């Protein structure tokens, strides 16, 4: 029993070894629209595909102008990949996001609050895992059919 629990614990730890949580409870976005006033939250570089789940809670309205320095969204290597339309607006000024299978790379979240203000941010980065359905090889299918034929032939021979 001890051995099974130890193995299960090691497997669980291995599965969660690459998971990361980013939490900012008292962030502050300075007032102003200059590029130096844009709030940028950088994530650690990711070496494999990953899922990103979290929320951004603002104490003010989100600035939504079209200048790339100020566009609210998720950036990969300084290129906008997920804009405001990809985030789910919840009650008030809370935005939720759930992106899966993001490619490896360097990511950041950028936004501006009209007039500046406080925010809180919470995100979980977990390795992307996909379920792959195995496809039998032709040799395996042929062997299975030969075995099935042998069973059927044997039943007919007994009858």
Q: How many domains does the chain have?
A: 1
Q: pTM here?
A: 0.66
Q: Pick from 43, 54, 55: which is nearest to 18 by CA?
A: 43
pLDDT 10s digits, 88-109: 888 788 999 999 999 999 999 9
Dihedral angle of Cα 140, 143, 148, 154, to the nearest 10 degrees: -160
pLDDT 10s digits, 45-66: 989 899 999 999 998 888 776 5
| CATH code, domain carrying 81 | 2.60.120.380
User: Range of 114's domain?
Assistant: 2-158
């Amino acid at each position: 029993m001890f051995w099974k629990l130890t193995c299960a614990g090691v497997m669980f730890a291995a599965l969660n070894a690459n998971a990361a949580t980013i939490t900012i409870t008292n962030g502050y976005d300075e007032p102003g629209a200059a590029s130096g006033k844009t709030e940028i939250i950088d994530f650690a570089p990711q070496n494999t595909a990953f899922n990103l789940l979290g929320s951004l809670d603002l104490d003010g309205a989100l600035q939504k102008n079209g200048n790339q320095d100020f566009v609210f969204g998720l950036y990969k290597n300084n290129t906008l990949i997920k804009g405001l339309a990809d985030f789910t607006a919840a009650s008030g000024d809370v935005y939720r996001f759930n992106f899966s299978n993001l490619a490896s790379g360097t990511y950041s979240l950028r936004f501006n609050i009209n007039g500046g203000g406080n925010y809180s941010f919470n995100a979980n980065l977990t390795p992307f895992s996909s379920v792959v359905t195995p496809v039998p090889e032709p040799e395996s299918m042929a062997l299975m059919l030969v075995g099935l034929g042998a069973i059927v032939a044997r039943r007919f021979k007994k009858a």
